[in-house]
Structure 1
């Protein structure tokens, strides 16, 4: 399944996260002209990553 940007619509809590400048530029370019904020995009990208992450074996 491909990642698709959706409009913002959620309850939120503030967190401080530092991003590399080049990543910020890439995100801002990706959301340009779309109905989504920087934070909304990051939330969606994190959800997508978590939903599609390969499980690692549990340590014994």
Structure 2
């Protein structure tokens, strides 16, 4: 399984998430990859991404 790190992650890694596709979408904390993951259906994940994209970068964090 291939994990992808967020493009918003800085050079030091910081507090970031990683995502993998395995029939469902798995999300984990990149600082503690051995800990549990959260899973989402592809439809739920796509809905989440759509909302994030609608907000735009100025509204994040």
User: Which of the pair has the greater relative contact order for Cα pairs under 8 Å at 6+ separation?
Assistant: 1
Q: Same fold (TM over 0.5)?
A: no
Q: TM-score, normalised by structure 1?
A: 0.34
Q: TM-score, normalised by structure 2?
A: 0.34
Which structure would you say has the larger Rg? 1
More helix by share: 1
